[in-house]
Copies of this chain bind each other. A is one copy, B any other.
């Protein structure tokens, strides 16, 4: 599949002088220029339609205990260019097939004094650039320790950014929209408290970072294929607007232990004057390896309910008893403990959820708090927190297993690790065997609190390796995995599609912890979702949390219609209806959309997109000709006209429109919605209005 392309200018100058190589995207819109500075420092620059996206930016590494490092004194010893064009089939995704089309330039640079070489591989797609460092097998560069990666991303100006604070342990922050020059002064107020967090700089931000230049150019920086490497954040020089890579340190402050041959993750830059192109890009997936799981027949999208929101809101508890000041697994005797009366994961309650799931066509039921240890699970840097196999006395594993089977419902396992990665690895085989034995084929994992081993961070190299270990181990057991509080995804779900979800951002739970910004989900698809789907857990119908738990005054900062729109806007093969059955039963007409909306798609259309302001997406069901449209809106009410021209020509459809009522408002009147039906074709245009913090959802069913 690899052919030389002649459009590449590659010219070598004598050693010590600048050499430059140019690479163009297949459509010619992007040009990447690689060159060496006079001191042999490698640099790259990127233009889009002849305008600079990335000004000349340095590449390289500062190494530990190595005065030469891999920063400069390089000469170009080889360049190879090629082109690649392939379409691959997804196991699940926003579409059934993805085109992977790029031109590639691999530049080998030599550091003469040390006789070391690295390859910088650039892949230029129609929507942007990916590049990575490669350390080929060689005598003088085998093992080395990265003090810092020195990759620069030099911005052309004081762009607007949608950013969260750079942090080694969490991404569970609300986004701040500001100029780059304003980050420093806004930084402290952008940091909300979390169970584990560590910022590194008051101009540090995380990827995927979404920006918008003054001329309307959207720029997105992220990484792809984060494997055996530490997670990259960005540190801004707010005088020059140059971002520099900031890797996550290990317990000793080092940023990476590398053994050649190896490669870094890809650093990605997507740019377009149309924000929808950013959402439509599959660069992140394309830069990951093809699927490594041979038989993927057991991997299936899942729509689920669960014993979860009632604990998140404080209506019920994960824990079983209040008897013990602390828990020592294997020592603490639960059999004599007095139940606290608030435990959520009781057999009776779980069976009610199973009934509800079966009645409404869901695939699965998640249960948190089913296993012993929750009385004392968090915050003590404690190793042996959970064993992942011992149920509470009031959770009948086999009884629930059989009941769920009889109703055609899959139980979804929950493994909270409390950040104790070593303990999870000690128990993971038995835990997965337990799942296989009891009919669980998906697990939600969690990493709340500081990481053990002590001193490591959620995004350190060895902990990134832990998450990967779990993904691969789960695949061995044919288990789908959905990790919460893990590192944000980077497209690895292409290689391991059993990773059907991740949290790794501020999810719906924060609506019960004081609330998120109303425009939060108009940003997430441009940031967190660039690396893979999120288990966002939408579908909250009761916005006044005090109705569930009088001592919780949180308010869900969206309208009900916005919650319905999330099922389309926030693509995931794993979608929860997160609210309590009793709340759905109060709004059965609106709940119909959640029942109807698929979790598997053939095609996606990005109708409208402005990060922070609005998003309208249409997707086609994988199992019918039906389409579903979702909209999320920011804080200003908005009306726009969308065209249904994506519908099949000549066919007739009935649209059911779940929209904000005229007087709807996320704060004052969130449950005001109206449902209308109308006949539509591909010529139909709909004028749609979304309230502040509102949105809408439309199901478009083929008339037969």
A-side interface residues toward B, CB under 8 Å? 137-139, 142-143, 145, 250-252, 254, 257, 259-261, 325-326, 328, 380-383, 422, 425-426, 429, 452-456, 462, 465, 469
Contact = CB atoms under 8 A, between A and B. Distances in A.
B455 A257 contact: no
Given A142-B325, A382-B259, A383-B465, A455 B425 contact: no
Contacts of A261: 328
B469 A143 contact: no
8 contacts: A137-B326, A143-B380, A143-B382, A251-B456, A259-B328, A261-B328, A383-B462, A453-B456
Contacts of A328: 259, 261
Given A251-B251, A251-B455, 13 more contacts: A139-B325, A142-B325, A143-B326, A143-B382, A251-B252, A254-B454, A259-B326, A260-B326, A261-B328, A422-B422, A422-B425, A425-B425, A426-B469
Pick the most buried of A381, A383, A454, A462: most chain B CB atoms within 10 A of its CB.
Answer: A454
A125 to B, nearest CB: 28
A454 B462 CA distance: 9
A137 B462 contact: no
Nearest to A422: B422
A455 B325 CA distance: 32
Nearest to A145: B381
Contacts of A251: 251-252, 453-456
Contacts of A456: 251, 453
Contact of A455 (B138, B252, B429): B252
B380 A454 contact: no
A167 to B, nearest CB: 19
A337 to B, nearest CB: 14
Contacts of A145: 381
Contact of A425 (B426, B452, B454): B426
Those 9 A-B pairs whose CB atoms lie nearest each other, nearest first? A453-B453, A251-B455, A251-B251, A143-B380, A142-B326, A252-B455, A252-B454, A251-B454, A250-B454
Nearest to A421: B422
Given A252-B455, A422-B425, A259 B380 contact: yes
A589 to B, nearest CB: 50
Contacts of A326: 137, 142-143, 259-260
A383 B262 CA distance: 15
A143 to B, nearest CB: 4
A467 to B, nearest CB: 14
Contacts of A143: 326, 380, 382
A254 to B, nearest CB: 8
Contacts of A259: 326, 328, 380, 382
A422 B455 CA distance: 15
A227 to B, nearest CB: 13
